[in-house]
Structure 1
Amino acid sequence: MEISWDKIIGHAEQKQQLQTMLAEGRLPHALLLAGPDGIGKKMVGRALAAAILCGEHTGKGAACGHCASCQAMRLESHPDYYEVLPESRGKAAKVIRIEQIREMQTEASRYPTLSAGRVVLIDEAERMNEAAANSLLKTLEEPAGQVTFLLVTSARSSLLDTIVSRCMPMAFGMLPSEEMAQALKGRGIPEAAAAELAALADGSLGRAVTLYENGGLELRDDALAFLEQLDDMGLEQVWQQAKTKGAWEREKLAEWFLYLNMMLRDMLVLYEDGASPLLYHQDSRQRLAGLLPRFTEPRIFALLALVRDLQRRLQANVNLPLQMEGFLLRIRDLT
């Protein structure tokens, strides 16, 4: 686990604010780190946790890196640090359940063994179900012992207002493309590919790395080919597409729809300015421009509405093949 502030790309203002509050003893008992996926919020939370738990606090809001506490954090074996992550059962969407919150509450209530207090980090906090959220709320209202709660989310509006009101919010924005490209090159990715991934990932370093490691560019190309073939798609192809994509893992299908959404957005940008530098898919400019004669602006907006509706549905436990069939049939009605 990385515990150094210096290893985190971007977010200089937020890092400085957190270090100052910790050094001055003004850190609240609960923080809400909110911003888009893949930009380093969890890394910030872990670096802050290491600094809070550090056995040789320097007074500068940073972990020393060599004490027993810091070594335990690096090895992901710190007895006073606890993470709650969403879990999936089968093909169901990932959820944080009340059992996980209750287990966390038991751990958090114990006396610290290595540090002066405890830290709990809840990642993707928006995935708590109602029972889990209500249980956490009680803990935030009446925290037991010296515990700091770090909630990480990419969907602040999905959290209970009462939970948000009991945390100090800290907003994180997208990473600059230049910084992302440099970070990707530092991972051994060729310069040309790094620049393309940085533009495509829309400020999310995590998404750029996933694209590179998991063949995400192939999904992107499949989404573009889908748009190119849409007008010629017969019912037999609809059923085949629904069967194929409905068998994908939920995360893979969600990523495919993300690229479809981005393609449609780029087409709207091209309507306004064919030479715009704001495209996500700079390398596909000519192919996207070639689609414009067949895709009017009203049709693109209608397609976007269908895509975004299905993206919302994918957050719930729905039947993926049936959702794909319905989506494809509705899209055909727009041709």
Structure 2
Amino acid sequence: MEIAWHKIIGHTRAIARLRTLLREGRLPHALLFSGPEGVGKLRVARALAASLLCLGEGELPCGRCASCRALRAEDGAHPDFLELHPEGKAVQTIRIDAIRQMQTTAARRPTLSRRRVVIIDDAQCMNEAAENGLLKTLEEPSGAVTFILVTSAKTALLDTIISRCMTVGFGMLPEAQLAAALEARGISAQDAARLASLSDGSFSRALALEADDGLMLRDDALAFLRERACFTPARVFERGAAMGEWPRERLSEWFLCFHTLLRDLLVLYGNGASPLLYHKDLRQALAALLSEYSEQRVFALVALTEEAQHRLLSNVNTRLLVEGFFLRCMEQ
């Protein structure tokens, strides 16, 4: 796994605070990293864990000692490091069994480093029994162990757990930083800027959009906005047959793109010079549609889109869902 501080995108203040506490020996035994999904909280947690476990001197982690080499190994064989994640197919959960197993491991003396580190990712997925079990450990920690809880839903955790951790907040990544990071991965400057604008400050979402042809889905949703009035029943059934074969995740992304395009139309109605557009590069294209889309019509389409997004979460026939959505949009 990647453990270098300098390879983390953004969060300069949070990282500086953590490294100062680490250098001065004032880091508490339990931390809670809270912020939006996909902004790099887990990556910061891993870098901090590597620093705590490092056997080197000076700036930590050194990247060369036995501990750092063990953390970078693909098999994740560091004996003093444990990372928990939710498990399950339908519902992702961290269960009490996983917490108990972790407690047994954490209570042992470290074997390679001077302490142990436990990361609990998506901590909000702990069930009630798991939370209560963890609470006892946080109240009475045994041995040299540091806990780092990572969550995108802090309010879902027990107040008693939150109160026993030092909270470190993480915000959305600036678009310029996201775009630069995407360009560094070989994405063109134009596409990187577009993906950064669409990703809500989340690097992982930007990568997912790029991998799933998110820009193409957006262009397809825009094409429907332009062609809606000219759609025929035959065209509806053709699109329904094609999109009905898509994975639900891809279909969900299409509806999200369509929803954000509608949202941008409303923003343009409110303030044509607003910088708050999701699709900044489409300002002129969307402005050209205002004469065709009254605010009332846009709000009606938003309601239809949100209904489709909600129904997509159930075991609905996706082809019928798409066909019904397009037919109802044509009526607006």
- The TM-score with structure 2 as length reference comes to 0.82
Matched, 1:173 2:171: yes
Aligned counterpart in structure 1 of residue 208 of structure 2, from 207, 210, 218: 210
Partner of 2:116: 118
> Displacement of 1:168 after TM fit?
1.1
Q: Which moved more, 1:297-306 or 1:258-267?
A: 297-306
User: Counterparts of 1:135-284 in structure 2 under 5 Å?
Assistant: 135-225=133-223, 241=240, 248-249=247-248, 251-284=249-282
Q: Structure 1's 293 and 46: CA in aligned 2 closer, same or farther, altered over 3 A?
A: same
Partner of 2:95: 97
Q: Extract unaligned runs of 5+ from structure 1.
A: none
Matched, 1:85 2:85: yes
> Displacement of 1:164 after TM fit?
1.7
Q: Structure 1's 258 and 100: CA in aligned 2 closer, same or farther, altered over 3 A?
A: farther
Alpha carbons 1:121, 1:152 under 8 Å: kept: yes
Q: Which moved more, 1:169-178 or 1:255-264?
A: 255-264
> Displacement of 1:237 after TM fit?
5.2
Matched, 1:319 2:315: yes
Q: Extract unaligned runs of 5+ from structure 2.
A: none
Residue 33 of structure 1 aligns to which amino acid in structure 2?
F
Alpha carbons 1:51, 1:57 under 8 Å: kept: no
Which string of whole-angstrom CA distances, capped at 9 and with x for unpartnered residues, describes residues 170-211 of structure 1? 111122222222211211112222222222223222221222
CA RMSD of aligned residues (A): 3.5
Which string of whole-angstrom CA distances, capped at 9 and with x for unpartnered residues, describes residues 59-107 of structure 1? x5x2111110011111132111111122342xx2433333333332332
Larger Rg: 2
Residue identity (%):
54
Secondary structure class of the residue paired with 1:38: coil
Secondary structure class of the residue paired with 1:184: helix
- The TM-score with structure 1 as length reference comes to 0.81
Alpha carbons 2:212, 2:250 under 8 Å: kept: no
Alpha carbons 2:107, 2:142 under 8 Å: kept: yes
User: Counterparts of 1:298-313 in structure 2 under 5 Å?
Assistant: 300=298
What is the CA–CA distance in structure 2 between the aligned matches of 1:252 and 1:300, rounded to whole Å? 23
Q: Structure 1's 321 and 53: CA in aligned 2 closer, same or farther, altered over 3 A?
A: farther
Alpha carbons 1:45, 1:121 under 8 Å: kept: yes
> Displacement of 1:325 after TM fit?
4.6
